[in-house]
Structure formats: structure tokens, C-alpha cells
A and B are shown apart, each in its own frame.
Chain A
Amino acid sequence: MSHTLTVLAAVFAELSLLAVGGANALLPEMQRQAAQHGWMTPAEFAALFALAQAAPGPNMLVVALVGWHVAGLAGALVATLAFIAPAGLLTYTVAGLWQRFREADWRVAIQAGLTPVTVGLVMGAAVLLCRASITGVGTFLVVLAAAAALLVTRLHPLWMLAAGAALGAAGVL
């Protein structure tokens, strides 16, 4: 494996085991690592995240896009496999033991204790993505409108993404 692929594998394998609150909670660290390794700017990261949101499938697809951006198809595969393998192996191993510890006090305390941390990380993701994607009044209003639409309507999120893209393509932002 080339040096770049090795670094990709190491970064995403670590992220796999740090993913305690879903993929959104990992976005700040992913963006930080991508910038630190010189892979992309925060704005490029935000664009890849948006692209992943517009595709079907789990939230983690941004991982494949980051790998692809860094090292093409091989990068996409390495990043994806590195991201799912460590946690997957852990899950496979622990699944059989789950009945033994699921009612344990320590298990409940860990899960409850992690919840506010996860919320903070998702808040951090929101701050970073907004900072990268708000370039003027128009994009600022799109951020607010999409957030409000998700909070107060039952519209499918794809409508918000489509509306944002259409407004942008029409040149009104």
C-alpha cells in the first residue's frame, strides 16, 4: 500500500472506534484530519458531506468520498473498509455477550454519560459546516430555512436539499 492509502486506513480505523454517536458526531474530527493532512479545505469537506447526503444509503458515505478525493477508487475502498472493519469486528465479537451486560449499571451509565458528549459533537459539526457553507446572505438564509423546515414540517429532507441546490443553480444565492 502506498503511504497515502496507509494514512487513510489509519485515520479511518481510528475514527471507526471513536464513532460513539453516529456519523454526524464524527464530522468535526473528519474535517480536522482532512485539513491537517492537507487533503481538502473545510469548504471542500462541506461540499463532499452535502453530496453524500444527497445520495441514498447510510450517513457514513462521506467517508468513501473523502477517500476518493484523496486517492481515487482505491482510496474510497480503503477508507470505507477501514471505517467499518474495527467497529464491525467489535460488534461481531460482543453481540453474543450482549445479554450478559445489557442490564448492567455500568453499561447504562456509559450510554447515558455519552449522550451529552454526542450532542456536543453534533453541535460542533453544525457550527463547522455552517461556517464553511455560509458565504453570504443567500446561503445563510438557505441554512436557516432548511433547519426550520426539518424542525417544524414533516417534509422529507431530500426536498430541502433539492430546494437549496435549485436556488443555487438559479443564481439567486
Chain B
Amino acid sequence: MQHPESPPTLAALFGGFFWIGVLGFGGVLPLARRSIVEQHRWLSAAEFTDLLALCQFLPGPNIVNVSVALGGRFRGPSGSVAAVAGLLGAPVAIVLVLGGLYGRYANIAAVAHGFAGLTAAASGLVLATALRLAGPLRARPASLAIAAAGCVAVAVLRLPLLPVLAVLAGVGVTIEWRRR
């Protein structure tokens, strides 16, 4: 890797991910890309894409994995900790304050009704995300069948995720393997 500057310090890693965390609403990956590639130039665009591919391949929240891998690449374990703490510290504190306020005022009718509306809107956003993700599968009946089976298994039959994942991932990966 060629980077013009010396590797970022722990404070810089913490600070960079701090702003990614507090400014990111509704998915922070686009913001992370801008910050890491364009603003701080910690990675080239290709390196970021490659790192993201790794983090999407491995289990766990993607952006947390990005912070772990990037922090670790520059500063070892303490770099990972600094990046994760920067990313999550403020958002977790903010969401807990919101949770505390909600807990205290939920018995006020207007707050409870506002929450019902907020919850419905958040559900609608997940519905749109699901539809958008399903779009590219339309051309492939086998993929659609796997997706439908997964949906029914967790939402209708309420089966535990581990066996659902084991069976459906097994089928999905086998199909992909045979296509090669």
C-alpha cells in the first residue's frame, strides 16, 4: 500500500469514526466511504471496496467490521478499539438518552401516538428495503424460492435463525457452486 502520509494516530481513528457515527443516519456506509477515501485518504477507492467486500462476507455489522479491520491495519488491536469506540460511543449514548426519554414520556398520549406513527414509518422503510433487495432476484426462480422460504421460516413459522440459515445457506451455496 502506498499512502503519502504516515498511518493515522489512535486519536485520528477515533475522531474519523466518531463523525461517521454521529453524522450517519439510516445507514452509515456511504458516509464512511466518503470519510475514509476522500476526506482522510486512509484508503484508495479500490482498497475501500476490497475492505467492504471482506466485511460483507464476514458475519457481524458491516460498518463495525470496517472499523475493526481499518483500525487494526494501521494501529493493531488498539487501533481497532479506538475506531469502534469512536464509531459507537456517541450513537449508543444518544439512542439510550432517546430511550430514556421515551420510557419516561410514553404514557403521554401524544408521545405514544407519535411513536405509533414513527414505528409504522420505520416498518415501511424496511419493507421498501426488502422490496429493493428482492428486485434483482426476479430473474432467478431458485433465488426467489430461497428468499421466500427464508421469509416464511422466520416470519410465519418463527423458526430459530441458526437452523434456517444452515439449511438455506447450504442450498443457496450448493446452487451457486454447481453453476461454476
Pick 15 A–B contacts, CB within 8 A, sort by A. A28-B154, A50-B118, A56-B25, A57-B95, A92-B80, A108-B180, A109-B173, A117-B169, A120-B151, A157-B125, A163-B117, A164-B117, A165-B114, A165-B117, A168-B115
Going nearest first, the 10 A-B pairs with the smallest beta carbon separation are A87-B60, A120-B150, A168-B117, A57-B91, A164-B121, A146-B124, A113-B173, A169-B114, A113-B172, A120-B147
| Interchain CB contact (< 8 A) of B129 among A55, A56, A114, A122 | A122
Chain B contact residues (Cβ within 8 angstroms of A): what range? 35 or more
Q: Is the pair B87, A117 in contact by a Cβ cutoff of 8 Å?
A: no
B77 CB within 8 Å of chain A: yes
- The reply to whether B148 and A120 contact each other, CB–CB distance below 8 Å, is yes
Residues of A within 8 A of B168 (CB): 116-117, 120
Is there an interface contact between A142 and B124, defined as CB atoms closer than 8 Å? yes
* B151 close to A142 (CB less than 8 A): no
In angstroms, how far is the closest chain A Cβ from the Cβ of B111? 7
Q: Is the interface of A mostly helix, strand, loop or mixed?
A: helix
Chain B contacts to A: CB under 8 angstroms: 21-28, 50-51, 53-65, 68-69, 72-73, 77, 80, 84, 87-88, 90-92, 94-96, 98-99, 102, 109-111, 113-134, 137, 140, 142-144, 146-156, 158, 160-162, 165, 168-169, 171-177, 180
Asked if residues B57 and A113 are in contact (CB atoms below 8 Å), the reply is: no
With A59-B27, A115-B143, A120-B149 already in contact, the answer to whether A168 and B118 are too (CB < 8 A) is: yes
Interface residues of A, CB < 8 Å — how many?
107
Q: Is the CB of A150 within 8 A of B129?
A: yes
B155 to A124, Cβ gap below 8 A?
Answer: yes
> Nearest chain B CB to A102's CB is how many angstroms away?
7
Residue of A65, A117, A148, A167 near B95 (CB, 8 A) is: A65
User: Looking at the complex, which one of A16, A106, A125 makes contact with B59 (CB distance below 8 Å)?
Assistant: A16
Contact A121 B154 (CB under 8 A): yes
A131 to B173 CA separation, bound complex (whole angstroms) = 31
The docked-state distance in angstroms from the alpha carbon of A127 to that of B129 is 12
Asked whether A95 lies within 8 Å of B173 as measured between CB atoms, the reply is no
